[in-house]
Amino acid sequence: MDFFDRAYFFDQGLRFECQRCGRCCTGESGTIYVGPEEIAPMAAYLGMPSERLIENHLYPFKGSYSIREDPNGSCHFYDQGCAIYPVRPVQCSSYPFWFSNIRSEKSWCALHRECPGIDQGRLYTKAEILERVHRAMKF
Ligand code: SF4
């Protein structure tokens, strides 16, 4: 059966609305995959050449790059909010609809501890959720 046709616990959709608390951008260290096609838009948004973006803010990861972190674990681009929000990588824009988070109802419910946006705001349809999961599968 196709990935998009199966039954899931979220067949009726899931609610999510970012509360801009910054928890997922700060704290525990992690990797933030930046695909090759995401570099130029980020550099343009910041008004710098791609080479400078790579040199100052990224490091090699999985055939492309990841965003550097500050010593306290915060994303390099977090400054009382995301400094590259309109062009943030898919790994960020698809959160919290990652496979690891929607693989079971238990995983989704456990996210309440980390993200106050879970079960708030607008309803994402099953199709929207699966589209985001699919996009996020590259990292
Ligand atoms: S933890 Fe959730 S509510 Fe807070 S910034 Fe991240 S996505 Fe938004």
The residue whose CA has the least distance to atom 1 of ligand 1 is 115
The answer to whether residue 1 sits within a structural domain is no
The residue whose CA has the least distance to atom 4 of ligand 1 is 21
117 lines ligand 1 (CB under 6 A): yes
How large is the greatest C-alpha to C-alpha distance in the chain, in angstroms? Answer: 46
Q: What is the pLDDT of residues 70-129, one digit of tens each?
A: 999 999 999 999 999 999 999 999 999 999 999 999 999 999 999 999 999 999 999 999
CA dist 139 and 93 (Å) reads 13
The answer to whether residue 66 sits within a structural domain is yes
Mean pLDDT of the chain: 94
Residue 27 has pLDDT above 70, yes or no: yes
Mutate to test the pocket of ligand 1, among 15, 17, 21, 93 (most ligand atoms within 8 A of CB): 21
b/e map of 9-34 (b: 16 or more CB within 10 Å)? ebeeebebebeeebebbeeeeeebbb
Residue 29 has pLDDT above 70, yes or no: yes
Kindly give the distance from the C-alpha atom of residue 103 to the centroid of ligand 1, in angstroms, as a whole number. Answer: 19
The residue whose CA has the least distance to atom 8 of ligand 1 is 18
Kindly give the distance from the C-alpha atom of residue 19 to the centroid of ligand 1, in angstroms, as a whole number. Answer: 6
Cβ proximity of 45 and 87 under 8 Å:
yes
Among the ranges 16-25, 48-57, 69-78, which has the highest mean pLDDT value? 48-57
Whole-angstrom Cα Rg for the chain: 16
The answer to whether residue 28 sits within a structural domain is yes
- How many CB atoms within 10 Å of residue 40? 13
The answer to whether residue 32 sits within a structural domain is yes
Region 58-65 average pLDDT: 96
Give the domain range for residue 115.
14-136
What share of the chain in percent tops pLDDT 70?
A: 98
Residue 131 dihedral angles phi and psi, to the nearest 5°:
-65, -40
The answer to whether residue 8 sits within a structural domain is no
| From 30-34, 87-91, 134-138, the region with the lowest mean pLDDT | 134-138
19 lines ligand 1 (CB under 6 A): yes
Region 42-68 average pLDDT: 97
The answer to whether residue 34 sits within a structural domain is yes
CA dist 8 and 104 (Å) reads 8
Q: How many domains does the chain have?
A: 1
Angle between helices 50-57 and 36-46 (to 10 degrees): 100
Secondary structure letter of residue 77 according to DSSP: T
Nearest-5° angle of CA 29, CA 26, CA 62? 40
Residue 3 has pLDDT above 80, yes or no: no
